[in-house]
Structure 1
Amino acid sequence: MVRLTLDLIAKSRNHFKKKRGLSLPEYLKTLTHLHFSSKNIDDIGDLSMCRNLHVLYLYDNQITNICNLGFASNLTHLYMQNNDITHIDNLCTLQNLSKLYLGGNRIAVVEGLEKLSELKELHLENQRLAPGEKLHLDPMTLRSLSESLCVLNINNNNIDEFRDLKVLQELKHFSAAYNKLHNIEELEDVFIHWPQLLQMDLSGNPVRKKPKYRDRLITVCKSLKVLDGREINESTREFLVNWKACKEAKKKKNNKHGMTRPRILLPLSEDFNMGQGPHPGNICVHGNVQRWKPQPSLRSRIIVPTDLT
């Protein structure tokens, strides 16, 4: 297994060429990008001399814990997808972090991002979870990202509901493909809180089979340009919005007329004597058994508007 250290950086052919006669400490101070993807790295050592680091590439390794990054206050991009990370830890000092890539790990709960006030992109797709387990996004973390997060990718994480996401009012790109979302009313309730949403992908979810799925989301998401990889024609949106408005207006009109003339039920005259006779069955009169003849049913009714009574 491999530990990422200053010595490993110094021995790297890629970085050795860039030193150009500088001493190692001098070179490390000028370092802004560090590329160590696909190097079988399982641990991060002391990199505190790389204080000017802006971008760190550590994807496709075997890292289990996020650690020793407290020094990197200038870091803006962190690529750690396709590792073995189970918890999001030790990122609270990265207050300039703008893009965080953690897809393809083993994260079950998204938390620990409360201090990342500049985070604009969060990528969490394809977590390798236990059977039946789904990705959970901590409500406190979501609230802390509500004014900054613009891009969220939670593809393929067994998610079946996401009401808590409505606080992310700055979202412009949202991807939740190949999950288990099925409630279109819940989706509408969330999306109405995302006025800046431009692109959305819900491919592979059961909700896409609901009647008028695409039409309903287009009318709710006023600024949406692309849904499930297909562009939205503005004339189509205008037609759907007008159609929905007309439908709602007609419904209100019908309800209003229904309330102005309430209806009551009156019995027919032939039913007025009901309840006077014997109970159903055979009766005996002077020793003779006679069969009782039922009276007309109370089921017959006429409907009379109240203004005619």
Structure 2
Amino acid sequence: MAEELDLTNAHLHSLENVDVHQGLTVSWHSLKGVATISAISCCSPVSAAQAVDLTANRLKEVDPRLLALKGLRSLNFRQNLLTDVSAWDSCSCKGTLEDLEFRDNQLTQIPPLNGFVALRRLEFSYNEIRSLEPVASLSCAPLRELYVAANKITAIAGLSSLTALTVLELGSNRIRQVEGLEAQGALVELWLGRNRLERVQGLGHLTNLVRLSLQSNRLDSMLGLEGCTSLEELYLSHNGILKLKGLDTLTRLKVLDVSSNRLTAVDNLGSLSRLEDLWLNDNQIPTLDGLDTALASQRESLTTVYLHGNPAAGDPRYKEKLLALLPRLAQLDDKVLPSKT
């Protein structure tokens, strides 16, 4: 049985020279120097393949012969020129397909997905899609990862039946409000950077969330995350946040990135005794005075601190003071410090 049909970087405009019916068991990487794919001697049917990878070609449509493949578990159309993949609704592998990727094409719509009962990972990032609604048709699928970054999505919708989701990537869209995540209590990672969010809301019930990205939005406050008590990584850079507030319950935080905001003080971090990485660069923190008190709880945990781009970093004893304050510091700004052992 052919485990994988790999045609990555083959620069194919179509699959017409691939004898799908007779089968192909070699990967594109072993075809270098061969004049045409059709000249290859094949011995195993493509219909037996479990994975087909067509990354980085120039395909403009789905070859009808691919729709007839049975038992397929993974299909990758990444970096092609597809504009319409609605034909995939009639494929023969709905009962087995677990991983489907259409990243970096020219799609304006997510195709119908009725009947894909085994799908666990779905990728539509870097297209021109405006609506998430079609994913609602996956109500019977155990979908765990959904990636629709860098599209034109304006609202989070169609996810109510996807209760098994653990990863949701919607960065670089046009979302103005966090809503429609009421059924996503299993989420572990949520990526909403580079949207148009003005406040944190609709996230308090996500008690299993470990990683959250809200960078490059329009936030002036971080309040609203108090219920996300499992958070270990929180990314809030490039907003307009004025104060460090609402962090008391986030005692598991290991990474806090609030760089490129409008902070004028370091405070309210007392409960974050597990913090390892603290990014405060490019704010308006005036001085290092009081930092020993502000970071007392992190004296033995912090290994990485970024403070450059603040007036405080102009202190002539900047490095010396930080090293004295934080004995485990291994990186200060972009400089890796010499090992103390």
Q: TM exceeds 0.5?
A: yes
Residue of structure 2 aligned with 1:202, choices 272, 280, 289: 280
More helix by share: 1
CA distance in 2, matches of 1:12, 1:73: 32
CA distance in 2, matches of 1:238, 1:165: 21
Residue of structure 2 aligned with 1:71, choices 141, 158, 161: 161
Q: Report if the CA contact (8 A) 1:225-1:232 is conserved.
A: no
1:170 aligns with 2:256: no
1:142 aligns with 2:210: no
Segment of structure 1 superposing worse, 91-100 or 49-58: 49-58
Partner of 1:299: none
Give the SS at the match of 2:134: coil
Give the SS at the match of 2:212: strand
Counterpart amino acid of 2:221?
A: H
Shift of 1:163: 2.2
Partner of 1:116: 206
Partner of 1:225: 303
Give the SS at the match of 1:100: strand
Q: Report if the CA contact (8 A) 1:107-1:135 is conserved.
A: no
Query: Could you say if the C-alpha distance between residues 19 and 61 of structure 1 is closer, same or farther in structure 2, counting changes exceeding 3 Å?
Result: farther
Shift of 1:237: 4.3
CA distance in 2, matches of 1:191, 1:160: 15
Query: Larger C-alpha radius of gyration, 1 or 2?
Result: 1
CA distance in 2, matches of 1:20, 1:95: 35
Q: Report if the CA contact (8 A) 2:167-2:188 is conserved.
A: yes
Q: Report if the CA contact (8 A) 2:269-2:295 is conserved.
A: no
Q: Report if the CA contact (8 A) 1:93-1:115 is conserved.
A: no
Partner of 2:70: 21
Residue ranges of structure 1 left out of the alignment (5+ in a row): 1-10, 241-309
Deviations 1:148-187 (A, max 9, x none): 1111111011111122223322111000001111124xx2
Q: What are the within-5 Å matches in structure 2 for residues 199-278 of structure 1?
A: 199-207=277-285, 209-212=286-289, 218-222=295-299, 223-228=301-306, 236-237=324-325
Question: Percent identity among equivalent residues?
Answer: 25
Counterpart amino acid of 1:38?
A: Y
Partner of 1:31: 119
Give the SS at the match of 1:166: coil
CA distance in 2, matches of 1:116, 1:44: 20
Partner of 2:86: none
Equivalences, count: 216
Counterpart amino acid of 1:159?
A: I
Deviations 1:239-295 (A, max 9, x none): 79xxxxxxxxxxxxxxxxxxxxxxxxxxxxxxxxxxxxxxxxxxxxxxxxxxxxxxx
Q: Report if the CA contact (8 A) 2:272-2:297 is conserved.
A: no
Partner of 1:279: none
CA distance in 1, matches of 2:66, 2:321: 52
Shift of 1:12: 7.8
Q: Report if the CA contact (8 A) 1:172-1:197 is conserved.
A: yes
Q: What are the within-5 Å matches in structure 2 for residues 49-88 of structure 1?
A: 49=138, 51-88=141-178
Partner of 2:130: 42
Shift of 1:109: 1.2
Give the SS at the match of 2:247: helix
Give the SS at the match of 2:131: strand
Query: Could you say if the C-alpha distance between residues 21 and 177 of structure 1 is closer, same or farther in structure 2, counting changes exceeding 3 Å?
Result: same
Q: Report if the CA contact (8 A) 2:211-2:231 is conserved.
A: yes
Deviations 1:179-210 (A, max 9, x none): 111124xx2xx111111111110000111x40
Shift of 1:32: 1.1
Shift of 1:233: 11
Query: Could you say if the C-alpha distance between residues 20 and 99 of structure 1 is closer, same or farther in structure 2, counting changes exceeding 3 Å?
Result: same
CA distance in 2, matches of 1:17, 1:196: 50
Shift of 1:19: 7.8
Q: Report if the CA contact (8 A) 2:69-2:93 is conserved.
A: no
Residue of structure 1 aligned with 2:264, choices 182, 185, 191: 182
CA distance in 1, matches of 2:292, 2:67: 55
CA distance in 1, matches of 2:322, 2:68: 54
Counterpart amino acid of 1:60?
A: A
Give the SS at the match of 1:111: coil
TM-score (norm 2): 0.56
Deviations 1:116-169 (A, max 9, x none): 121111100011x4xxxx43334xx42211x21111111011111122223322
CA distance in 2, matches of 1:135, 1:168: 19
CA distance in 1, matches of 2:158, 2:146: 13
Counterpart amino acid of 2:145?
A: V
Partner of 2:196: 106
